[in-house]
Amino acid sequence: MMRTFAAHGDLIHDPASGMTHRAPTPIGSGRVTLAQATVTGWPSVAPGDLGRSTPDSICWSPIVRCNLHCPQCLDDTSVKEADTTERHRVAHVLADADVLGVDISGGEPLLLRDLPRLLDIIRGGRRSAVSITTNGWHLARRAAELVGHTDAIRVSLDGPDVARHDAIRGPLSFARAIEGIQTAVALRIPVQIQTVLMRRTAGYLQEMVDLAAGLGACGFSALQMLPIGAGTALPDELLSDDEALTLFTALDVPERLNMRLRTRDVAGNFAVIRADGRVWRNDSTALNIGGLHPLRSATDLALSAREGTP
**Pairing relation of β-strands 2-9 and 28-35?**
antiparallel
Tell me the pLDDT band of 285, cut-offs 50, 70 and 90.
low
Within a domain: 308:
no
Q: What is the predicted pLDDT for the residue at 309?
A: 47
pLDDT tens digits, 161-181: 999 999 999 999 999 999 999
CB 3 within 8 A of CB 151: yes
| Residue range 74-98, pLDDT digits in tens | 677 789 999 999 999 999 999 999 9
**Neighbouring C-beta atoms of residue 1, cutoff 10 Å:** 9
Residue 268 has pLDDT above 90, yes or no: no
Q: Render pLDDT for 6-46 as a digit per residue (tens, 0 to 9).
A: 999 999 999 999 999 999 999 999 999 999 999 999 999 98
* Structural domain contains residue 307: no
pTM: 0.94
Domain encompassing residue 237: 2-301
**Per-residue pLDDT tens digits for 124-168:** 999 999 999 999 999 999 999 999 999 999 999 999 999 999 999
- Count CB-CB contacts under 10 A for residue 82: 18
E strands, 36-134, where? 57-60, 101-104, 129-134
Q: Are 130 and 140 in contact (CB under 8 A)?
A: no
Q: What is the mean pLDDT of the chain?
A: 92
244 in a domain, yes or no? Answer: yes
Which CATH number does the domain housing residue 55 bear?
3.20.20.70
6 within domain boundaries: yes
Q: What's the number of domains the chain is made of?
A: 1
Q: Distances from the Cα of 62 to the Cαs of 18, 52, 275, 293, in angstroms?
A: 18, 25, 4, 16
